[in-house]
Chain A
Amino acid sequence: MSNTKYAYAVARIRALEVSLFSDAFIEQLLSCKSAEQVLQSVVEKGWGDMDTENDAEAVLKREEEKAWEVIRDVAPDMSVFDVLSYPKLYHNLKAAVKEVCTDTENEAMFYDDCPIPGKEMYQIIESREFSRLPGNMSRTAQEAMDTLLHTGDGQICDIIVDRAALDAIEEAGKKSGEPIIENYADTTVAIADIKIAVRAQKTGKSADFMRSAMAECGSLSLDQLIRAALAGAEEIAQYLESTSYAGGADALRESPSAFERWCDNRMIETLRPQKYETFSVGPLLGYLIARENEIKTVRIILTGKQNGFTDDAIRERIREMYV
């Protein structure tokens, strides 16, 4: 009967999926004249709460929290969602290492909605109690800190932590035992690797640099990707065409923002079949990513409107919706 443990959670998510934004509503937001109108429309849909009125950033932040509150409420086992919390967790580590090494303190640099919030992370790093960090993180923290103190090079420190985050995501995906989480983790790592390749190609980095920054994943061959990145931008696109990320090749040729958009759309596409699952963690993951995607899209529209972008320029960056 173990596979029925998600029956309650999935049914609740099903009921919540009704309130997700459709492509038509996003189109409606796009046709709003000002950022204020956009904000007004989403608030009318129930976004934000009593304390967040008319403050766009607070409304968006509250929505992110709400999505996680729902998942925490319904999920029988939160460990499968580690994959999603790692980016924030490792960001906190990176920020804490840098702040401790440069002797500054700025709370705004941290995320608080993750397993180790900013303050705690800062204390761990400051007192060098690395053993309090989970898994391989203690080794990463030690290495990043030593490197930053000895070389003073922030980029190397970034690479160590980011690489460790990608490795942790890939490993957590494999450990979760849920095919959809594993697929999500692998796609996340693969897209990060592709982004590294694109940026490294533009800035003319060496193969060794790329090898230290990229994490192994099941769906890409790092050797081939690095070789393509050394040869040029077109070669990266050509290599992608031979993988399951073929759609990304065209987006890459178009523009960096088109590629970012393609990455998000591909994730939603991967998750869309989860709308028809009844007894697995998939719909929960789908809902969470759909909410993140929705919030990101509203943020893009809001910023676009605030800065007087044309509708076409904003539309180029709009993501596909889950429902």
Chain B
Amino acid sequence: MSELGIVYALLGAAVAVLLSGTGSAIGVGIAGQAASGVVTEDPSKFAKVLIIQLLPGTQGLYGLLIGFITLSKIGVLGGGLADLSVQTGLLILAACLPIGVVGLLSAVAQGKTAAAAIGIVAKKPEQFGKAMLFPAMVETYAILALLISFLAVSGIQV
């Protein structure tokens, strides 16, 4: 038994939250700049652009979810650290990588798409539904990564 096992597992939880959270912050930031531009000229569009701005924020939540499951699995939450081998620790780290990496990249890409979609709302507010769909497409890949991370973390026997 090595003490490093639990370190690797905790590192996995950190990676999931860190990377996807950073991505969401950048994505929401980019979309927020565009949203501010529109609201400066036309405050009546506030509600519509706010919804689009929030789309890249979901990756951070997915990261949080995986981080949370990992923490409870290894016993950081609810007392009593699990006794993990290095191999199990590394398995958990690997399981956390998909949502971390895909979360980061997809949130940034989604932020850019959201900024462009906010341009649609600025010019044609009646096309709000279509404008929402373009950034929502990017979400698919974050959900796929979430699914694999979730299955992997849950499947590892501690």
On A, residues with C-beta under 8 Å from B are 1, 4, 7-18, 74, 278-279
Given the complex of chains A and B, what is the CA–CA distance between A74 and B111 in angstroms?
A: 20
Q: Which listed residue, A17, A74, A279, touches B115 by the CB 8 Å rule?
A: A279
Q: Which listed residue, A1, A11, A279, touches B36 by the CB 8 Å rule?
A: A11
Query: Could you tell me the dominant secondary structure of chain B's interface residues?
Result: helix
Give B105-127 interface residues, CB cut-off 8 Å to A. 111-112, 115-116, 118-119, 122-123
Residues of B within 8 A of A278 (CB): 34, 112, 115-116, 119
Residues of A within 8 A of B35 (CB): 11
Given the complex of chains A and B, what is the CA–CA distance between A74 and B31 in angstroms?
A: 16
Query: Quick one: given A4-B112, A7-B115, A8-B33, are A15 and B122 in contact (CB under 8 Å)?
Result: yes
Q: Which residue of B lies closest to A323 (CB)?
A: B123
Known contacts A9-B37, A11-B118, A278-B115; 9 additional CB pairs below 8 A are A8-B37, A10-B34, A11-B34, A11-B37, A11-B38, A15-B123, A18-B122, A278-B112, A279-B112
Residues of B within 8 A of A15 (CB): 37-38, 40-42, 45, 122-123
Most buried by A among B30, B37, B118: B37
Contact A1 B26, beta carbon cutoff 8 Å: yes
How many residues on chain B are close to A (CB under 8 Å)? Answer: 21
Contact B115 A16, beta carbon cutoff 8 Å: no
Residues of B within 8 A of A18 (CB): 122-123
Leading 7 A-B pairs by shortest Cβ distance: A11-B37, A12-B37, A15-B41, A11-B34, A14-B122, A7-B33, A8-B33
CB distance from A49 to the nearest CB of B (A): 17
Residues of A within 8 A of B33 (CB): 4, 7-8, 11
Query: Quick one: given A1-B26, A4-B30, A74-B37, are A11 and B122 in contact (CB under 8 Å)?
Result: yes
CB distance from A170 to the nearest CB of B (A): 31
Given the complex of chains A and B, what is the CA–CA distance between A12 and B36 in angstroms?
A: 8
Q: Which residue of A lies closest to B30 (CB)?
A: A4
Contact A17 B123, beta carbon cutoff 8 Å: yes
Contact A16 B41, beta carbon cutoff 8 Å: yes
Contact B37 A14, beta carbon cutoff 8 Å: yes
On B, residues with C-beta under 8 Å from A are 26, 30-31, 33-38, 40-42, 45, 111-112, 115-116, 118-119, 122-123
Q: Which residue of A lies closest to B113 (CB)?
A: A278
Q: Which residue of B lies closest to A4 (CB)?
A: B30
Contact B37 A10, beta carbon cutoff 8 Å: yes
Q: Which residue of A lies closest to B40 (CB)?
A: A12
Residues of B within 8 A of A10 (CB): 34, 37, 115, 119
Contact A14 B115, beta carbon cutoff 8 Å: no
Residues of A within 8 A of B26 (CB): 1
Q: Which residue of A lies closest to B35 (CB)?
A: A11
Contact B115 A11, beta carbon cutoff 8 Å: yes
Residues of B within 8 A of A7 (CB): 30-31, 33-34, 37, 115
Residues of A within 8 A of B45 (CB): 15
Given the complex of chains A and B, what is the CA–CA distance between A279 and B31 in angstroms?
A: 11
Residues of B within 8 A of A12 (CB): 37-38, 40-41
Given the complex of chains A and B, what is the CA–CA distance between A57 and B41 in angstroms?
A: 26
13 example contacts (A-B, Cβ-Cβ < 8 A) are as follows A1-B30, A7-B30, A8-B36, A10-B34, A11-B34, A11-B115, A12-B37, A14-B37, A14-B38, A15-B37, A15-B42, A18-B123, A278-B112
CB distance from A14 to the nearest CB of B (A): 4
CB distance from B14 to the nearest CB of A (A): 23
Given the complex of chains A and B, what is the CA–CA distance between A1 and B31 in angstroms?
A: 13
Contact B119 A11, beta carbon cutoff 8 Å: yes
Residues of B within 8 A of A11 (CB): 33-38, 115, 118-119, 122
CB distance from B27 to the nearest CB of A (A): 10
Residues of B within 8 A of A4 (CB): 30, 33, 111-112, 115
Residues of A within 8 A of B116 (CB): 278
CB distance from A17 to the nearest CB of B (A): 6
Residues of B within 8 A of A17 (CB): 122-123
Given the complex of chains A and B, what is the CA–CA distance between A7 and B119 in angstroms?
A: 10
Q: Which residue of B lies closest to A7 (CB)?
A: B33
Residues of A within 8 A of B119 (CB): 10-11, 14, 278
Residues of A within 8 A of B37 (CB): 7-15, 74
